[in-house]
Structure 1
Amino acid sequence: MTVGTVDQWVVNAAEPYLLARFWAFVLGGEPVARPDGWAYVAGAEGRPRLSFQPDPGPGTGRNRIHMDVRVDDIAEAADAVVAGGAGRRGGPVTDGQGTFQVLLDPEGNEFCLVEPSAR
C-alpha cells in the first residue's frame, strides 16, 4: 500500500534564504524567498522540493531535516501510517500552504504528512 509521495525535504535553518541560494548553486534551480520566512529551491517539476524553514534554535531535540509526504487525505493517511507503526505529534495544522500532520517513525524521527493547498 502506498500512502503518499515525497513532496519536499525540509531543512531547519537560521537563515533560510542563505541556504536556498547555496543549494540552488549546488543543485541548479532558482532560490525563492517566501513572505513567511521560508525559502526553497525551485527546480524541475515532478522532483521533490528542497525547502528551508526558519528555526533559530541550535538543532538539538528535534530533526534538522525531515521529509514531507504529500497525501490526498490527512486523516486517512495519518490513521494508515499510525497503524503501520508511526506515532502522532499533536494534531493536524492548517496554514497558508495547506494542512500538515507531524508524525514520528518507529525510531522517533519526525516527518510530516501534507495536503497542500494550490501553490
Structure 2
Amino acid sequence: MRAQVSEIVFDCADPAALVRFWAGLLGGAPVDRGPDWSYVEPPGFVRIAFQLVPEGKVVKNRLHLDLEAPELDAAADAATALGATRSGGVVTDPQGSFQVMRDPEGNEFCFVSG
C-alpha cells in the first residue's frame, strides 16, 4: 500500500486567523469549518489545515515548509506585512540562500532561493 498526503495540519490557538495569514501568503480562499478547524487549498499545493489545541507552541517545529522565493527580501517583507516575523538574517551556503520566518503563532517556515 502506498499512502498519499492529503493535507498538512498545524496545531494552533486561532485557526481562523492563521488560515488567513497562510491564504494571504500562498493564495487560495480560507475556509472555516467551525471555530476549531480551518483550511486553505493553495494553488498547486496540498491543503493546509489549522486545528485548535489548548496548549501553546513551546519549542521549534520538527517539520516546516520551505517556500521557493527568488527575491528573499521581497518575500520576507510581504510575509511580515501579513503578520510574520523574521528569525535571524539571510543564510547563504553553496546550495543557495534562505530566510527563516515565523508565522503569527510562531511556526517556522523558510523562504529559499538558489
Query: Which structure's residues are more often strand, by fraction?
Result: 1
TM-score by length of 1: 0.47
TM-score, normalisation: structure 2: 0.49
